[in-house]
Structure 1
Amino acid sequence: MFAVAFALLTGLTLVLSSPSRSIHEQRTNLPHGWSRIRRPDLSGTLPLRIALKQSNIDKLHDRLLDVSHPESENYGKHWTLEEVKTYFQPSEDSVEVAMQWLEESGVERARIEISKGRNWVQVKDLSVAEAERILSTEYHIYEHIHGGTRLACSAYSVPSHVQPHIELITPTLHFDGPPPSKRGHLSARSFKAVDIAPLDSATDDLSNCDVRTTPPCYRALYNIPAEPTILAASKNSFAIVEYTPQAYIGSDLDLFFANFSPSLVGRRPEFISIDGGVVQTEEMDFEVNIESNFDIGYAMTLVGPGQPVRLYQLEDIPEGSAQLLGPFNDLLDALDGSYCTEDGGDDPSVDGVYPDPAPGGYQGPKDCGNKQKSNVFSVSYANNEGDLTPFYQIRQCNEYGKLGLMGITFLFASGDSGVAGNNELCLFPNGTQSVDAPLFNRSFRFSQLLYYFRLTCTTAMFPANCPFVTGVGATQVNPGSTVFDPESAASLTGGGFSNIFALPDYQKSAIEEFYKFHKPPYGADQYNNSQKARGIPDFSVNGVNCTVVAEGLTIAVAGTSAAPPVIGAMITLINDARLAAGKSPVGFINPAIYSDAFRDAFNDITSGNNPGCGTNGFEGVQGWDPVSGLGTPAFEKMRDLWLGLP
């Protein structure tokens, strides 16, 4: 299944393996900007944490399709949190095998702890020297060009009889969080500013949607009702996720609302703080305000005043400003206590540490399964697939699948650099990243046990590459065209094929059709052309010339960041209709949207491409393609189809 990695390549010299040990993870190159500088103090301690293999995880794909595919008799019969926890909890055998291994390695049982969810084994007061001996590895200190360090190794091995019982070990290879940056949030799919101008007083005028995308443009393009009738607000919930220091400005929202939804002036999203997250006002500029202003402004406007919107704000100011948060671990921790690694699992070198000892840091405990879940989550943040190890992404992807079993929809932006990665990075044959490199980013194939770069490459952003979430891209109204004319794919939209996650069953027919009639002109030396890989995006909406207010100025911006909140608003309205009819929320939507029943619920996008890495990228063609996915949604058709399901 795609809960494990592709096993496509073999032959790497296993220098750390022996008849009794096996390499579990290995990296032959570093993420962009990192360099090895020195050996650590071997007497220093590190928080070694072992992620245990979850029971029945190989059945996650089938169980999720069973409640998500429109032809299933169990459609919409979502699981409870307790059912999910019990079904996937690691076995007692895995717990005991891991503990016995550590004891046989010289670790006293008094130093070994099991996390509350029994998903992790943690060793207290372990020296670096002990960790090196236990893992047959060598640690070094790595430094980023913008500052900040990580403790990591290039490979580690475990006893062969232990390997089937574990998923990953930290800290080891993982440079999981975005590195410190001079400014802004490197993992954000930040909008690109197009121009600055005053708001057009004719806010309902659709004649200028080719140069200014506004809420009326979205409504006209996708048949979203201008004044939605909300019937089940008390049962429904729609969440926007932001990471400090990204924060909205209330006065900007009011200026936006005054033009596009006057009844919302003065209204704010319901605030849910995770790990000390705040709507900070210490740093105020376009870069930190555009994302939140857009996400919240459009989400609230499109669902209307009758449907509250929640804001999940993650990280306190010191952690957010230092850019040391992991890629979405903290959100998952807060939502699911069985996943939460409060007492084992998170890597303090990259994940937020709470209580935060930094001056002004959040002094409360780390949020662990204590935050309410929402039916729909819109997330406009991502990381390059090649910056993270497969095991790390797989474990998080599985968690999204488990939350999908509970009826939750996750929407992630597909990226803003075409077939390149964040910051328009491409790859050299040795796996290093540069804007001048020729290969599509993020390129690596690996066996289940190894992690290393080859010449092959792909374009996939994490978590959009996860087959248990919905990755969404961007289209545009062509210059000189109207909202009643066909759109084209936006040249910035990220799209391509993953080298971590295999082709999910729900996408097989679409990918087969794509390769049968529109095989790309690139070989295996430029992208993963195995025809067995997860493709993104799943579908798209307009993401070019989008009107947003920041610091009192109106800006036209472009980016796939526009897609999650706009699509999230549509799914929320569909959930409202289903809940009012006594039905469940739609939950994981991919099996439905790829089914034959939903074929007419999308406007096919057959023009445009997503260039990068010295190529024209992929082309928009008939049917699914790795530029716009299935196309753009026809809201009323989608709503009626989902209302017709159990």
Structure 2
Amino acid sequence: MLWLSALLLVAQLSAAKPLNSKRWTDLSVKHAWVEIPRGWEYHSAPPADHLLDMRIGLKQDKIDQLISSLYEVSDPAHEKYGKHLSKEEVDALVAPHPDSVDAVESWLEHHGINPADAHFRSTAGEWVTIRVSVAQAEQMLNTKYGVYYHPASGSQVVRTMGYSLPTELHSHVDVISPTTYFGTMHSMRATSFVLPQTATGDEDSFAAEISPLAVPASCGTTITPACLRALYNTTNYVPKATATNKLGITGYLEEFANDADLQTFFKQFRTDAVGETFTHVQVNGGLNTQSDPGVEANLDIQYSLGIAAPTTATFWSTGGSPPFKADTFTTTNTNEPYLDWLNFVLNQTTVTQTISTSYGDDEQTVPLDYATSVCNMFAQLGARGTTLLFSSGDEGVGGGNCEANDGTNKVEFQPAFPASCPFVTAVGGTRSVNPEVAINFSGGGFSRYFAQPSYQTASVQPFLTALGTKFTGLFNASGRAYPDVAAQATGFQVVIGGRVSSVAGTSCSAPTVAGVIALLNDFLISQGKAPLGFINPLIYSTAKTGFNDIVSGSNPACGQAGFTAAAGWDPVTGLGTPDFLRLQALIG
């Protein structure tokens, strides 16, 4: 009897194995490129035993409810306005369904991987990281990995031109990385650049305060904190909630914000802030050597605090070295933008109320599944009460020759991501004073990935109506429109290695607006009110008049004249530049 039972059991297992195997061998493509992403070239095959940290993004079971909640707490007309969600409430909405967990874990076990050995799990369980060899990854994803080289930045990455998953898993998995997203922080564009050195006059005079009613013509070419505080009406506001209100700057590319340079900056341009500091936080191998200070990092921290000091500030240094070294057998960071930092900050019990980021890339170079997953993570931060500001880019309506990467080589305006995500606030650029005008490199346009959110339709439609048939076929008129707002973007006096350099780019604009938003949050928090959080529904409605409308200038690119700034919203400067006093009255 025992022998017969064992025989029956063997027969049952033999019969079941092909069925179980078929479950995981019925594969369909998740994402694939038709050509190597522009700027990259195939270099070589990686060693089969090279280790990858494979991130699996599981479907978030109640993501629609999360987004609904985000809009409720962000809409000034809704009864839940300002009632931001806790970490636990957000985790409950983004946690994967048990069926998704079971399916993914069964798939891993089929490939000999114990789910309990996961290298990382987010607290909600929607992100799981496993450590696998290239050979294992190729088998799991029915693909071939390659080492690809980016000559412009010197980056080498291990990526694939396409990958597949078992058909059953498509309804349970949002994205797998590293796979088809070739972007790294080294290959992405930091949205700032140093201007040729010109005579700037007596630097000591820059520290003098300027009357908000009389911004001098010199601010049209040489920007200091005094210029911005006068232009945007923050000069006389004194922060009160500095123990609670927080401002954050994200740093990548092995750039570090330098402590000594900040003090030099304050001594020259904001003497009342001398001695104010910020906290360094290193994420996933980020460094803080205080050597070779970065233009981007110093610009961001100096000008956000140049407006918002003495607000508590944090600079996150997120690891960003090239992830592949052919002669080194070691586990390496996949170095994909945002995921390391997002998983870190979302794991914190409390969130920073205002965060500025000055990096971006062409939307079409980011796989839709990856872009959607990252955008939804920004929604989590917004639901918890964070205002996320992103520079809109320095490529006007599109970078390079603007050719589509779908094999057609069709010339189209190229929107930028993450600026095109509807859950962030994109910041374009201006120049000059009395009046301000759009700067010609200000990134702006319409997403091809994300639909136009209802909060901006009433503002965007008049622009589209006036535009008529101009540029037909070059952009997606039904897409998320950006930028949302703007600020000065050239002539910023930045201390780098003890010396003052003049810097331009929408990297100047984003931390400037972040400084203004941080002061508005200070005002609210000091009154016992909730911070602004995701501001787009507010600024497109009851706070619309809190901005200085920019009505001239354009953003040419792609061999086209680009869009033109106009009365009301436009895809060069958005709603315009912020006026702190007007906004303070509108939100008070």
Task: Report the TM-score when normalising by structure 1.
Answer: 0.78
The superposition leaves residues 556-600 of structure 1 with CA deviations (integer Å, 9 ceiling, x where unpaired) of 3221111122111111111111112111001000000011x2232
In the other structure, the counterpart of 1:328 is 338
Select 1:151's aligned residue among 158, 171, 181: 158
The reply on whether 1:376 has 2:381 as its aligned counterpart is no
Q: Which residue in 1 is equivalent to 2:420?
A: 465
**Correspondence for 2:329:** none
Provide, for residues 201-229 of structure 1, a one-character-per-residue CA deviation record: whole Å limited to 9, x for no partner: 433462311221222221222222x2422
Identity of aligned residues (%): 34
Aligned to 1:543: 489
Shift of 1:30: 2.1
Q: For 1:60, what is the secondary structure of its paired residue?
A: helix
Q: CA-to-partner distance for each residue in 1:173-214, whole Å, 9 max, x for gaps?
A: 12131457xxxxx53212331434354443346231122122
Residue correspondence of structure 1 range 148-297 to structure 2 within 5 A: 148-179=155-186, 186-197=188-199, 198-203=201-206, 204=208, 206-224=216-234, 226-283=235-292, 288=294, 290-297=295-302
- Secondary structure at the counterpart of residue 628 of structure 1: coil
CA contact (8 A) 1:271 1:311 kept: yes
> Can you give the 5+ residue segments of structure 2 that lack an aligned partner in the other structure?
1-23, 211-215, 326-331
Q: Is the 8 A contact 2:157 2:323 kept in 1?
A: no
Partner residue in 1 for 2:403: 428
SS, match of residue 355 in structure 2: strand
From 556, 562, 565, the equivalent of 2:508 is: 562
- Secondary structure at the aligned position of 1:471 is classed as strand
What CA distance in whole angstroms lies between the structure 2 residues aligned with 1:279 and 1:473?
Answer: 29
Q: How does 1:76-155 map to 2 (within 5 A)?
A: 76-103=82-109, 106-108=110-112, 110=114, 113=117, 115-117=120-122, 118-121=125-128, 125=132, 128=135, 131-145=137-151, 147-155=154-162
Match of 1:61, SS state, is helix
TM-fit CA distance, 1:126 = 5.5
Q: Give the direction of change, closer, same or farther, for the CA distance of 1:276–1:268 in structure 2 (3 Å limit).
A: farther
Aligned position for 1:342: none
Range with bigger deviation, 316-325 or 206-215: 316-325
Q: Secondary structure at the match of 2:195?
A: strand
Q: Structure 2 vs 1, CA of residues 239 and 134 (structure 1 numbering), >3 Å: closer, same or farther?
A: closer
**How far has the Cα of 1:630 moved from its partner?**
0.8
Which one of the candidate residues 336, 339, 363 is aligned to 1:385?
363
Find out whether 1:571 has 2:544 as its counterpart: no
**Shift in alpha-carbon separation, 1:151–1:618, aligned structure 2, 3 A:** same
Q: Work out the CA distance in 1 between the residues paired with 2:43 and 2:500.
A: 45
Structure 1: runs of 5+ lacking an equivalent? 1-17, 181-185, 338-368, 432-443, 445-451, 478-482
The aligned amino acid for 1:543 is A
Post-superposition offset of 1:453: 6.7
Give the letter aligned to residue 560 of structure 2. Answer: T
Using the alignment, how far apart are the partners of 1:191 and 1:24 within structure 2? 37
**CA offset at residue 111 of structure 1?**
6.3
Alignment of 1:511-530 (within 5 A): 511-519=460-468, 521-524=470-473, 527-529=474-476
How far apart, CA to CA, are the structure 2 residues paired with 1:541 and 1:237? 21
Q: Distance in 2 between matches of 1:151 and 1:127?
A: 9
- Of the structure 1 ranges 58-67 and 391-400, higher mean CA displacement relative to structure 2 is found in 58-67
Deviates more, 1:142-151 or 1:24-33: 142-151
Distance across 1 between alignment mates of 2:334 and 2:128 = 23
- CA 320–265 in structure 1, closer or farther in 2 if over 3 Å, else same: farther
Q: Single out whichever of 382-391 and 499-508 deviates more from structure 2.
A: 382-391
Residue 113 of structure 1: CA displacement?
Answer: 4.8
1:5-16 aligned at under 5 Å gives the runs none
1:29 to 16, 35, 39: 35
Secondary structure of the residue aligned to 2:458 is helix
1:293 shift after superposition: 2.6
The corresponding residue for 1:622 is 567
Matched, 1:492 2:432: no
Match status 1:314 vs 2:318: yes
Question: Which of the pair is proportionally richer in helix?
Answer: 2
Change (3 A) 1:235 1:107: same
Aligned to 1:419, the other structure's residue is in SS state coil
1:411 and 2:389 matched: yes
TM-score by length of 2: 0.85
Contact 2:94 2:126 in 1 (8 A): no
Cα drift, residue 250 of structure 1: 3.9
RMSD: 2.9
Aligned to 1:300: 305
Change (3 A) 1:238 1:109: closer
Preserved CA contact (<8 Å) 2:356 2:514: yes
Question: What letter is aligned with 2:367?
Answer: T
SS in 2 for 1:600: helix
* CA deviation profile, 1:492-522 (whole Å, cap 9, x unmatched): 1111111111111211222222111224621
Give distance in 1, aligned partners of 2:93 and 2:512.
Answer: 34
Q: Which amino acid is 2:180 matched to?
A: L
Residues in 2 aligned to 1:46 and 1:211: alpha-carbon distance in whole angstroms: 48
Letter in 2 for 1:497: F
SS in 2 for 1:404: helix
Structure 2 counterparts to residues 390-401 of structure 1, below 5 A:
390-401=368-379
The answer as to whether partners of 2:159 and 2:179 remain within 8 angstroms in 1 is yes
- Matched-pair contact (CA < 8 Å) for 1:244–1:278: no
The AA in structure 2 aligned to 1:296 is: I
The alpha-carbon deviation at position 232 of structure 1 amounts to: 1.6
Q: Structure 1 residues 79, 195: CA separation in 2 closer, same or farther (over 3 Å shift)? A: same
Q: Is the 8 A contact 2:452 2:481 kept in 1?
A: yes
Q: 1:392 to 1:520 in 2, by over 3 A?
A: same
Report the equivalent of 1:58. Answer: 64
Aligned partners of 2:393 and 2:428 also within 8 Å: yes
Aligned-partner residue type, residue 202 of structure 1: S
**Which amino acid in 2 is paired with 1:299?**
S
- CA deviation after TM superposition for structure 1 residue 39, in Å: 4.1
1:98 & 1:276 partners in 2: Cα distance?
Answer: 28
Pick the structure with greater CA Rg.
2
- Which residue matches 2:21? none
Shift, 1:90, TM fit: 0.2
